[in-house]
Amino acid sequence: MFSEHGFTTWLVKPIELQSLARRCPKCALKRLFFPHGLFRVNAQKKIIDIWSIYKCKICHYTWNIDIISRTNIHQLDPALYARFLANDQDEIRHRAFDYSALKRTHGELGPPPDFEVDGHAVTTYAGSSHLRVRIKLQYAFQVRLAAILSKKLRLTRGHLGRLLSAGAISGISERDLNRRAKPEQTMIFDVAAVINAIES
């Protein structure tokens, strides 16, 4: 048992949306396409089609990605349908990180989006012996755990490996560092050891 311990949550938030790479007909080259922030809704009687509009980063050529195809409007949740009609930005972001749906677009995933990590720094808990850190992804986007820890702690991948080997970070393995971060996971820091690594 720890004599003194702190607890904090780090929320990992993508700064950009997940891009898709495909050949742009206008550029005649493979380009990155990003969500434009708009849905296209087409209703023919009771049948609904809904797309998310993506734009080429260079020329702004648009590409519509299927979200709902040939569906009876009565099968849609009215609140969800209202979000599509209003171009709800939370819904846009949610769809941009729906990787199972993105795989069906025949586009390749672009680079992982840049991100920020909100939450108290380890130095805030200098009076504690150990700190329990819960890392939570705002969206289940593709980012390695090592990248999150490196950004928040300002430590290299090598430093993180040495802290793990010394037992200063526990609850995860060396292999976990190179894996895609889970939507939520917890680890424990030896506060003094981690702060020493940061300040050295």
134 and 191 together in one domain:
yes
131 and 100 together in one domain:
no
Residues 113, 141: Cα–Cα separation, whole Å: 8
Does 1 score more than 60 pLDDT?
no
φ, ψ dihedrals at 107, nearest 5°: -105, 155
Percent of the chain with pLDDT over 70: 98
pTM: 0.84
| Cβ contact 15:118 at 8 Å | no
pLDDT tens track for 57-77: 999 999 999 999 999 989 999
43 and 92 together in one domain:
yes
135 and 195 together in one domain:
yes
* Structural domain for 189, as ranges: 5-15+113-199
93 and 148 together in one domain:
no
Residues 159, 146: Cα–Cα separation, whole Å: 10
Band (84; pLDDT cuts 50, 70, 90) = very high
Q: What is the pLDDT of residue 75?
A: 92
Final residue before a domain boundary, out of 90, 109, 128: 109
Q: What is the pLDDT of residue 2?
A: 42
Final residue before a domain boundary, out of 55, 79, 109: 109
152 and 87 together in one domain:
no
Band (5; pLDDT cuts 50, 70, 90) = confident
Single-letter residue type at 136: K
98 and 135 together in one domain:
no
CB atoms closer than 10 angstroms to residue 177: 20
The number of distinct structural domains making up the chain is 2
11 and 40 together in one domain:
no
pLDDT tens track for 131-144: 999 999 999 899 99
Q: What is the pLDDT of residue 106?
A: 82
Final residue before a domain boundary, out of 63, 82, 109: 109
Give the least confident one: 17-21, 126-130, 190-194: 126-130
Residues 11, 139: Cα–Cα separation, whole Å: 10
